[in-house]
Chains A and B, each alone.
Chain A
Amino acid sequence: MRPFISCFLLLLLSVTLHPVKAQHIDFIELAGKEQLAGATVSTVFQDSHGFIWIGTNQGVFVYDGFDFRSVKLPEDFANASVSCFASDPEQNVWIGFSNGKISFGHEHGFSAFMPDEGLPEVPITGLLFTVDSTLWFSTYGEGLYLFRNKRLYNFNSGDGLGNDYLYSLDDGKNGTVWVGSDDGISRCGFQRNKKLIDNYSAKDGIPDMIVQKVLTAGDQGIWVGMQEKGMSYFDPEKRSFTIPYGFSWDFGPVTDVIDYGGLLIIATGGSGIVELSLKNDGAVSRIRNNISSGKRVTKLLKDKEGNLWSVSNGSLFFSAGPGLRYYKEISGQPLGTIHAIHAAADGTVYFGNDKGLFAYNTEQQLTQLLPPQSNDGPGITSIFKDETGSLWAGTFGNGLYRFAPGSHKAAKVTDSNGNLNSNILGIAGSGNVLWFATLGGPAQCSIIQDDNRGFSFGNFNSGSGPGNNFIYTVSSGSNGKFWFGTDGKGLVSYENGGFTFPRPGEAFPARVIYSVDEDADGNVWAGSSGEGVFRLHKNEVTNFSVANGLRTNKITSVISAAQNQIVVVHDLGIDLINSRTGQVSYLGIKAGIQDLNADLNAVSADASGSVWIGTQNGIIQYTPAFMNAMKVPATTIRNVSVFLSGGNAKPGDAFPHTSNHLSFEYIGLWYNSPSKVTYRIMLEGHDPGWVPTGNRIAVYSNLRPGNYIFRVQSSVNNDFSFATEASFPFRIDPPFYTRWWFIIPAFLIMFILAYLILRSRLNRVKREQQLLKEKAESEFQLLRSQVNPHFLFNNFSTLMAIIEEDKQVAIEYVGKLSAFFRNILEYRNKELIPLSEELKVAESYIFLQKKRYGENLHINIDPDEKFLSSLIPPLTLQLLIENAVKHNIVSESRPLLVSIRSEQDTLIVENTLQLKKTPEISTGMGLENIRSRYRMYTNREILIRKTEKSFSVYLPVIIKKAEGL
């Protein structure tokens, strides 16, 4: 018997491990030559911000979910083929090329990596940064290089490396790397300038020497992707290679591998993508193969959301990854609308569609259990496998079927007491108690093992319970409770032998509950027909609706899944609620999970953590562990430019006040559905609060000087409480004339200037006053001197003598005397008079003096003709002549000679110097007076030159009255 069983098992195993084409990951072609300007995709990479970088044979493109932007590379790189990417701790992206060159930078600019030692001449096959900021790169032909402390080192066969032709590179932890080559795998390290190289190859039993891909597994081991023999696992401690499956690999060379944790996704060079599901012991439990992204797949990428990207035949493909599988057909049979689904503990998935009831087991075999149940109704509406192994199938109008454990033969179950309605919408069980949700209220069935009939039905459509209402669903909860979704009384529970309402005496907020499930924390989740989802926590009800981000309030099904997720199914697609935080997200929009029109409660969770969802077009299997479905968009500020110049400003920059027109380009990266992302932005220092927007660019103009922080958050559902934020602080400098270092000195200078002006003005006023005073004084002096008694006495004496001698002369004399006084009176108030007039005035004075002194006084007046029109302060000449006569001896033996002449631009009044023995009392006012009067009209000073024989006064000629004023 035993050998027979093992033979059977072996047979089963071989069947199991035969790969089938079904339920594959659905890839869509995202970018080919059309989108990428004729370029052929060679590799794909996600940077630390979340952007997808696409390497081609004609440069590099960046994808943000919307556009493929070509990135400018240094000139000699433009036509080189990209072979690999890496990102460094400073968030630079590094690019390796097939011509041996390496470049690094970011979206806005790249530089060539140029170590002194030079770069390889052969393709770069891998780039990697290890923890100690060491750059490693593998080459196809020159072995491995590492760059550390600005020095490049090489590991090649001369150093003991197994082979110089390396295909792949991965981090081996502790500063080491693994490489795969034409001669097995090698671990390389470089410590204290010593090369550590361990080769593992034929002697260690490697199944295939040519290793195209090495991938460090989570547990220190290495996944080895080989040319012919597929995958093997290398355990460094045991130095052993193990192939985890028991058949011979015929998928072609392994080109890339991604470890989804218990699931290896393998890119092959001939058979598309192969999936190996791993059991805990590392053995393969299931193989899937699909070529939906082509047969020759060269590169795979798992992004931060868990999406799977692939490069195949020069194009880029996208999928939601193994977390979402869409079964539209099984074994060539279209599934159509799924009315009920149940994932049993043994991994078998039972489902009912228009063709009947089917079982789909882990061996991927489909078995029909029941024929179609009705031509116009939904047919199978509920499926449940109880703890004893019995399978129950409820129908719409056709009653209940039961399959005994292990049997594929259906037995119709009827209750002679009529307690069971023939429309069974839901079945739940716990222990030996089953509950049915029917259009005739809740029905209970106790399984009595001893009884022949085995079952005892009871109906609870009494007034104490949910009454005669339709019951849409039943779900078993903790502590032996059962939860019912009713039509009219909302959520009802059955416990301790009676029905209760969640909030005694209070109606449930929604009257129609289609779907109920209790999560691992004991929260009960209920989906309503039009009010969204309700969470019942103890007696507290919380509503999740469109306001919280759900796409609709008409909920078809709710079911709790792994990772605290509540899966909410509705006509538009599948929403997810984090049962602990309340965060809402959406599942697989880009992958095509929308417009589901699913039947009520066609959902089931299996033991492995997957949720199975029946739709109008087949079954969706959602495995939270393989996705990061709750990941919020990664917000990043992509570019900041001043005056749309395209320049790339850096955070913390200060801009001049003239550069106050800034635009910010930002994005919330979410490849699930890029267009679903909305934003809110705020310019701190400008906006009073958040501004919601759908744009991915914000422009601010005429910003006033000051400190600002541009902040942006992105969300998929307008709920920003879980959003990531990017910010950009900057400053607009005030204009220089408002800066303290300008204002203070400028103010000081102005102050000083004002002070100087004021002072000079004050001085001038003072001087004018002085001059005025002097003028008045001189006038007074003049008047006084002219009417001084001595002068009058002298003149009268002279006149007396003349009267005696010659009457005619006397008359003339008196005439001159009076003319003299008239002149004084006339000119006293004038400022300047022409020289010719002044000479006339002087003449009358001279006449008087001549009469007195006769020939003893010689006065010679001979100025240049051209000066006759020049100006002179009145009575100046008279005063000077008077001074000469006053201070000098005028006698026959020593006649006084006074000459008035001009020389260049001066008028000279000169007299012979023969001072009286007893000097006349002199106030000295006369000359000083002249001097100060001249100062009023000209810059030139009068000059007084005194020699032994002569006394001369040089008067500057004033041409115009304006001069000096």
Chain B
Amino acid sequence: MFKHCILSLFVLLQMGSVSAQQPDSQTIFSTKSGIVTFRSDAPLELITASSSELRGAIDVNTRNFTFSVTNRSLKGFNSPLQQEHFYENYIEAGSFPVSTFKGKIIEQTDLTLPGNYQVRAKGILDIHGVTQERIIKVNLQVKNGQIVITSEFLVPLSDHNITIPRIVYQKIAEEIVVSVEAVLTGGIKK
């Protein structure tokens, strides 16, 4: 929990630094209740889990972004035992309580203008304490002072040093499908 606090603080600081670059802090859109869903479609078992506690922010001026989710907020699974296994054995929520993705949008899209945009978010994906640079396709809908983001991408477990015991090999997919849905609000408040 302590680490979690530190991390959250870090995330906030990150946003702070963003706003330090851009004094106009009203260009930041953020959410604390985005939905992130994990889906493991293995030959023998389909496992899904989701969290509605995705926190994130986008600075539409610099196109920097950061997103994080507390691993223990992921709920669902096929049994409480499975959920506990996930927390303890795979994601090791004790050591790595938070998964994050932060970086910058490649396209020089003006996100202050309403519209639908498909952009590529280039950033560092940190899961299970292992970072990977990723480019992830994201749909952004800018409307009514909100940014609605949706995205789906694959996370190979091997990318993040998450090893699966042989015995459950057929029950857990090697690549987890992660989908994200979030409504970011804020921005220009005058």
Residues on A lying within 8 angstroms of B by beta carbon are 116-118, 120-121, 141-142, 152-154, 156, 158, 193, 195
Q: Do A153 and B106 touch across chains, with their CB atoms under 8 A apart?
A: no
Q: Do B133 and A193 touch across chains, with their CB atoms under 8 A apart?
A: yes
Specify the chain B residue showing the minimal Cβ separation from A115: B135
A189 nearest CB across to chain B (Å)? 14
B135: which of A154, A158, A193, A195 is its contact (CB, 8 Å)? A154
Chain A residues with CB under 8 Å of B132's CB are 193
A625 nearest CB across to chain B (Å)? 46
A158: which of B104, B107, B154 is its contact (CB, 8 Å)? B104
Bound-state CA distance A156–B133 (Å) is: 13
CB<8 Å pairs between A and B, sample of 14: A116-B154, A117-B120, A117-B134, A117-B136, A118-B118, A118-B137, A121-B107, A141-B108, A153-B135, A154-B106, A154-B135, A158-B103, A193-B133, A195-B133
Q: Do A117 and B137 touch across chains, with their CB atoms under 8 A apart?
A: yes
A116 nearest CB across to chain B (Å)? 7
Mask for B15-55, Cβ within 8 A of A = 1, else 0?
00000000000000000000000000000000000000000
Q: Do B135 and A118 touch across chains, with their CB atoms under 8 A apart?
A: yes
Q: Do A152 and B135 touch across chains, with their CB atoms under 8 A apart?
A: yes
Chain A residues with CB under 8 Å of B90's CB are none
Specify the chain A residue showing the minimal Cβ separation from B62: A158
Is B128 interfacial (CB-CB < 8 Å)?
no
B137 nearest CB across to chain A (Å)? 5
Chain A residues with CB under 8 Å of B104's CB are 158
B49 nearest CB across to chain A (Å)? 22
Chain B residues with CB under 8 Å of A152's CB are 135
Known interface pairs A120-B106, A152-B135, A154-B122; 12 further A-B residue pairs with C-beta atoms within 8 A, sorted by A's residue number: A116-B153, A116-B154, A117-B120, A117-B134, A141-B108, A153-B133, A153-B135, A154-B106, A154-B135, A158-B122, A193-B133, A195-B133
Instruction: Indicate the size class of the contact surface on chain B.
Output: 10 to 19
Chain B residues with CB under 8 Å of A158's CB are 103-104, 122
Chain A residues with CB under 8 Å of B137's CB are 116-118
A124 nearest CB across to chain B (Å)? 14
Chain B residues with CB under 8 Å of A141's CB are 108
Specify the chain B residue showing the minimal Cβ separation from A145: B135
A154 nearest CB across to chain B (Å)? 5
Chain B residues with CB under 8 Å of A142's CB are 106
A193 nearest CB across to chain B (Å)? 7
B110 nearest CB across to chain A (Å)? 14
Specify the chain B residue showing the minimal Cβ separation from A142: B106
Chain B residues with CB under 8 Å of A117's CB are 120, 134-137
Specify the chain B residue showing the minimal Cβ separation from A154: B122
Bound-state CA distance A156–B122 (Å) is: 10
Specify the chain B residue showing the minimal Cβ separation from A157: B104
Bound-state CA distance A142–B105 (Å) is: 11
B64 nearest CB across to chain A (Å)? 9
Q: Which 9 A-B pairs have the closest CB atoms?
A: A117-B135, A118-B137, A118-B120, A154-B122, A158-B104, A152-B135, A142-B106, A154-B135, A153-B133
Bound-state CA distance A590–B134 (Å) is: 51
B128 nearest CB across to chain A (Å)? 15
Chain B residues with CB under 8 Å of A156's CB are 106, 122
Specify the chain B residue showing the minimal Cβ separation from A121: B107
Chain A residues with CB under 8 Å of B118's CB are 118
Among B104, B108, B133, B137, which residue has the most Cβ atoms of chain A within 10 A?
Answer: B133
Specify the chain A residue showing the minimal Cβ separation from B137: A118
Specify the chain A residue showing the minimal Cβ separation from B119: A118
Chain A residues with CB under 8 Å of B153's CB are 116
B107 nearest CB across to chain A (Å)? 6
Bound-state CA distance A118–B107 (Å) is: 11
Bound-state CA distance A121–B120 (Å) is: 10
Chain B residues with CB under 8 Å of A121's CB are 107
A917 nearest CB across to chain B (Å)? 87
Chain A residues with CB under 8 Å of B107's CB are 121
B111 nearest CB across to chain A (Å)? 15
Specify the chain B residue showing the minimal Cβ separation from A119: B120
Bound-state CA distance A352–B109 (Å) is: 70
Chain A residues with CB under 8 Å of B135's CB are 117-118, 152-154
Chain A residues with CB under 8 Å of B120's CB are 117-118
A248 nearest CB across to chain B (Å)? 36
A819 nearest CB across to chain B (Å)? 95
Chain B residues with CB under 8 Å of A116's CB are 137, 153-154
Bound-state CA distance A871–B106 (Å) is: 104
Specify the chain B residue showing the minimal Cβ separation from A158: B104
Bound-state CA distance A16–B68 (Å) is: 67
Mask for B86-122, Cβ within 8 A of A = 1, else 0?
0000000000000000011011100000000010101
A688 nearest CB across to chain B (Å)? 57
Chain A residues with CB under 8 Å of B136's CB are 117
Bound-state CA distance A165–B132 (Å) is: 25
A179 nearest CB across to chain B (Å)? 17
Bound-state CA distance A910–B82 (Å) is: 88
Bound-state CA distance A120–B118 (Å) is: 12
Chain B residues with CB under 8 Å of A153's CB are 133, 135
Mask for B127-166, Cβ within 8 A of A = 1, else 0?
0000011111100000000000000011000000000000
Bound-state CA distance A154–B120 (Å) is: 11
A157 nearest CB across to chain B (Å)? 10
A164 nearest CB across to chain B (Å)? 9
Chain B residues with CB under 8 Å of A193's CB are 132-133
A197 nearest CB across to chain B (Å)? 13
Specify the chain A residue showing the minimal Cβ separation from B131: A193
Bound-state CA distance A665–B104 (Å) is: 51
Among B106, B108, B120, B135, which residue has the most Cβ atoms of chain A within 10 A?
Answer: B106
A587 nearest CB across to chain B (Å)? 52
A117 nearest CB across to chain B (Å)? 4
Bound-state CA distance A466–B135 (Å) is: 84
Bound-state CA distance A156–B120 (Å) is: 13
Chain A residues with CB under 8 Å of B108's CB are 141
Bound-state CA distance A193–B161 (Å) is: 14
A294 nearest CB across to chain B (Å)? 35
Specify the chain A residue showing the minimal Cβ separation from B159: A151
Specify the chain A residue showing the minimal Cβ separation from B154: A116
Bound-state CA distance A118–B133 (Å) is: 15
Chain A residues with CB under 8 Å of B106's CB are 120, 142, 154, 156
Bound-state CA distance A158–B134 (Å) is: 14
Bound-state CA distance A195–B132 (Å) is: 12
Chain B residues with CB under 8 Å of A154's CB are 106, 122, 135
B17 nearest CB across to chain A (Å)? 14
A159 nearest CB across to chain B (Å)? 9
Chain A residues with CB under 8 Å of B103's CB are 158
Specify the chain B residue showing the minimal Cβ separation from A150: B156
Bound-state CA distance A156–B107 (Å) is: 12
Among B108, B134, B135, which residue has the most Cβ atoms of chain A within 10 A?
Answer: B135
Among B104, B122, B136, B153, which residue has the most Cβ atoms of chain A within 10 A?
Answer: B122
Chain A residues with CB under 8 Å of B134's CB are 117
Bound-state CA distance A253–B51 (Å) is: 56
Bound-state CA distance A153–B125 (Å) is: 13
Bound-state CA distance A158–B133 (Å) is: 13
Chain B residues with CB under 8 Å of A120's CB are 106
A119 nearest CB across to chain B (Å)? 9
Chain A residues with CB under 8 Å of B133's CB are 153, 193, 195
A552 nearest CB across to chain B (Å)? 64
Bound-state CA distance A290–B132 (Å) is: 51
B160 nearest CB across to chain A (Å)? 12
B152 nearest CB across to chain A (Å)? 10
Bound-state CA distance A121–B154 (Å) is: 22
Bound-state CA distance A953–B135 (Å) is: 98
Bound-state CA distance A156–B104 (Å) is: 11
Bound-state CA distance A141–B106 (Å) is: 9
Chain B residues with CB under 8 Å of A195's CB are 133
Specify the chain B residue showing the minimal Cβ separation from A143: B106
Bound-state CA distance A154–B154 (Å) is: 18
Among A118, A120, A152, A193, which residue has the most Cβ atoms of chain B within 10 A?
Answer: A118
Bound-state CA distance A118–B117 (Å) is: 13
B81 nearest CB across to chain A (Å)? 33
